[in-house]
Structure 1
C-alpha cells in the first residue's frame, strides 16, 4: 500500500538571517573581550580554510579569543572615533578593519603572538578563481596516474585524452594552468586530481593595541595615516 502524503515529515525550522539580536550579541562579546584580555590584534588572511583556522584558534583558546565577521559590527563594538571608543586608542583598531579582517584578543606576550602568527601556514588545493602559483604542463603520452575510468571525466575538463589499450593517454601537450592567471573550474579540478596544492593559508598581523601603546606591523601603514583617516 503506498504511503500517504499526509504522513510525510515536514521540517518546520528555517535558516534565519542574522538580525539585530545577533549583532548585539557580537558587540557585547567583543566589549567583554576588550575588558578581559590585555591586548587586541587586527589580522588578515590569505586562502581562508575554516578547518585550518579552527585548528589555529583552538591552539590559543585558553589565552585568546578570535572574532571574524562584519567589519562594521566590530567597528561599532570597539568605537569608530575617539568620542565613542570603549577604551582609549581602540578607535585606531577600527580604522584598519577592512576587507578580510579579524580580531584577536589575547593575554599572550607580544613576541609569542608574532611568532605564532608568523609560523602558521598550511597548503591546500587552489579553488576556482585563485591565481596560479606556477605553470603546470603535461606532456604528450600516457598518464599512468589515472585509471581508464577517468578518461571520460578528463575529456570533459578539456584535456585531449584517449584510451590506448586501457591506458589514459594525452594525444598532445596540455597546459593545465599558467602562472599568474586565474584558475578555471576545470584547471582547479585537474590540479586536485594531480595532487598539486597551490593555495597557502596564511595569517598576517596588521596592528596591535594595548593600554600602553599602539603598534603597526603592515608595511606602508603608518600611525599618522590612521589618525588622519
Structure 2
C-alpha cells in the first residue's frame, strides 16, 4: 500500500540542538578572547531574563566580551586540566563552571569591575519556585496594575484570567473589583505558578536581578582569584530561561 501523502503535523516545540560545528566555533571564539584580554571573569545569574543580560552586554560593549551558553562547551574551551588549558592557570576557572554561569573578558581593572557589578541591579518579577521577598496583599476595591505611575485599574478583559488565578473578582463599571482584600503571597514562602502570574499581572516586582562575580583569571600571572558569594534578600535564586551566547 503506498504511503499516505496527507500533510503531517510537525511539532514546533522542539529546539534544534547545536551542531558540532557550532560548538567548535564557540570554543574558537572563547579561546580567541582568552588571547586578547587581560582578565577573564566567571559570573553567575539567578532567575535570568535575556533582557537583563542584554543590558549588561550593551553597557560593556566597548570594553568587554561576554559569553553565556553551554557550560560544558565554555569549560572545554578554557581547558579543564593543566595539560589541556588554553592559557596558564585558566583550568582552575573551568572547574568552577556549573549552573547558569557566563564568561566576561575585559581589560578593565578588577576594582572597577567589582564596583560596577556591585551597583548593578534590575527589579524584576518573581517566578514559580522563588521565595516571596515580601507579603503582597491586594486591597478591596478595583484591582490595580502597577506597571505605570500612578497605577491603573486592570482592564476588563483580564477579569477571567484573574478569576482563574484565584481572585474572587466581580465587574464594577467595567473594572475587575475585589469585595475583600486578597493576599497573594506570604514573605518567605515558595511561590506557586499562580501566585507568580498574579504578581506579574498586577505589576508587583518583588525580586532583583543581579550578576554575581565568582572568580577572576589574570592573564599576566595565571592566578584565579575567587570572590565571596554575597546573598541578598531579594536576589532571584532559580530559573530556567536559556540565554543565547553572543
The TM-score normalised by the length of structure 2 is: 0.76
Q: What does residue 225 of structure 1 align with?
A: none
Which residue of 188, 191, 200 corresponds with 2:196?
188
Q: Which residue of 2 aligns with 1:154?
A: 162
Gaps of 5+ in 1: 1-13, 221-229
Considering fraction of residues, name the structure with more helix: 1
TM-score (norm 1): 0.81
Structure 1 contact 125–197 (Cα < 8 Å) conserved: yes
- Write out aligned runs for 1:1-229 (5 A): 16-143=16-143, 145-164=153-172, 168-210=176-218, 211-212=220-221, 213-219=223-229
Report which of the two structures shows the higher radius of gyration computed on alpha carbons: 1
Structure 2: runs of 5 or more not aligned: 1-13, 145-152, 231-246
The two structures, once aligned, show a CA RMSD in angstroms of: 2.3
Measured at CA, do residues 165 and 37 of structure 1 come closer, stay the same or move farther in structure 2, by a change above 3 Å?
closer
1:26-79 Cα deviation digits (max 9, x unpaired):
111111001000110101012312122112112212221111111111111111
Q: How many equivalent pairs are there?
A: 207
Q: Secondary structure at the match of 1:52?
A: helix
Query: Which aligned runs of 4 or more in structure 1 are off by greater than 6 angstroms?
Result: none
User: 1:8 — aligned with what?
Assistant: none
Q: Return the alpha-carbon distance in structure 1 between the equivalents of residues 125 and 171 of structure 2.
A: 27
Cα distance in 2 for residues equivalent to 1:94 and 1:126: 30
Superposition deviation, residue 147 in structure 1: 4.7
